[in-house]
Amino acid sequence: MTRVRQRRKEGWVALEKRWSPHRWVAHWYLNDSYRDKQGTVRYRQASHVLGLKTKDDLPTKAAALKRWEAIRDGVIKGAKPSALVPKEDPTFQSFLKDEFIPVRSGGWNKATREKLSYYFNLMCAEFGTSALTDINKRTLQSFLNRIAARLCHDTVSGCYIYLKAVFSEAAEQKVITENPTKNLAMPHTRERDTYTVSFENVRRIEDALEGRDKVIFKLLSRCGPRAGEAFAVQWGDLQPDQSLRIQRTYSRGQIKPPKTQKSRKPIYLPTSLYSDLLALKAEAEDQSPTGWIFPSGRTRRRRGPSGEILESRGVMPLDYHNWINRNLKPVAKKLDIRVNCQIMRRTFATLANEVGGDLKDIQAQMRHSRAATTADIYVQPIASSVRRSIEALDLALSTPSDSKGVGKR
């Protein structure tokens, strides 16, 4: 005979935040049990939606409890027999698609969704068809350790964070009884690339470039925008106060919104670069507010299977991948200098800090949400600067102090 579950036999009320607005739900144990795949006795539950956490319905938990007390006996006695049928354990992929993403994706913008889809594809390739209840800490840790040996820190960190989030949601929904990621360890990963271009090498590249290419490189090295942002600017974004509005990004033929809401803030231009852009505008074919500052010079067409033109999008901006590979890297290679988009953004932060720029000002120009991101990831130490600091400390310690100075008590 099945033992009757005594704990919380009258049920309990919980707030479900995966809905908008949030809703109050009553839960209770049924007088029925079963054994899971590991042989552990589990008690089935039933639930009943009491109402919404709104001013006009159930604004507080006390109100929800009062409603549950009034209807509890009738609801529990009227529970449908189908509630006694055990549900099949969801797989990792089905839970991710049907539960986790719909619940957690409310604040994700398009760029975030694309980035997370890469993490999810990696995880589903490993665990997709496995039942959530069959995935344990050992298999999760083994997965992270293996990808840490071949993938970058950001990818491993992303998988680590979202594995914990997925299983935390599963535990909250009582799909699993114990969270296997509770003591999961973030493995050691490859060190971040910290290479930056020196002052002298930035000047050498500038001297080797001409015309529009030189203006583009100066924008990247002296202002620090993301490459996709730099190539998606229009003449209407160039402001009289010598700033450049960031309204969009462009990459691989697609125009998208900026990475984050904070990324929409303008960047500021030095006077010389602002003059270069005005000179470039005077020679541009399309000087209208919607004209691209760095146009590709050809229309973008999408063709069908038989070669017919399905869509013509007019003149588009330069694609920064093409510009870097065809215009910048050949010049830098002749000078034996390594460059790419991330190196140039890191170079801007490092050199701006070296000449005495305030960290908060550099953060504002790069439009980071936290100064720690600017300081820990982008600003890199320069050997000559470190040496000057050491020499300054040595000089201070070597200078004798007077009787009223430091060291006297």
Give the model's pLDDT for residue 42.
Answer: 73
**Cα dist. 224→294, 342, 384 in Å?**
17, 10, 22
Residue range 24-34, pLDDT digits in tens: 888 888 777 77
- The percent of residues in the chain predicted with pLDDT above 90, rounded, is 41
Q: Around 39, how many Cα atoms within 13 Å sit in the side-chain half-sphere?
A: 0
Residue range 160-217, pLDDT digits in tens: 999 999 999 999 888 888 899 989 999 998 777 788 999 999 999 999 999 999 999 9
Fill in the amino acid letter for 174. K
User: Distance between CA atoms of 287 and 234, rounded to whole angstroms?
Assistant: 9
Residue range 379-389, pLDDT digits in tens: 888 777 777 77
Q: Is 0.85 topped by the overall pTM?
A: no
User: Distance between CA atoms of 100 and 169, rounded to whole angstroms?
Assistant: 7
Give the model's pLDDT for residue 85.
Answer: 40
- Compute CA 275 distance to the chain's CA centroid, rounded to the nearest angstrom: 35
Residue range 47-104, pLDDT digits in tens: 888 888 888 788 999 998 988 888 888 787 765 444 444 456 789 999 998 888 888 8
Residue range 113-139, pLDDT digits in tens: 878 888 999 999 998 888 888 899 999
Does residue 367 come out as left (phi exceeding 0), alpha (psi in the -120 to 50 range) or beta?
left
- Residue 290 pLDDT level (bands cut at 50, 70, 90): very high
If one counts every other C-beta atom within 10 angstroms of the C-beta of residue 277, the result is 19
Show the 3-state SS of 214-255. Answer: HHHHHHHHHHCCCHHHHCCCEHHHECCCCEECCCCEEECCEE
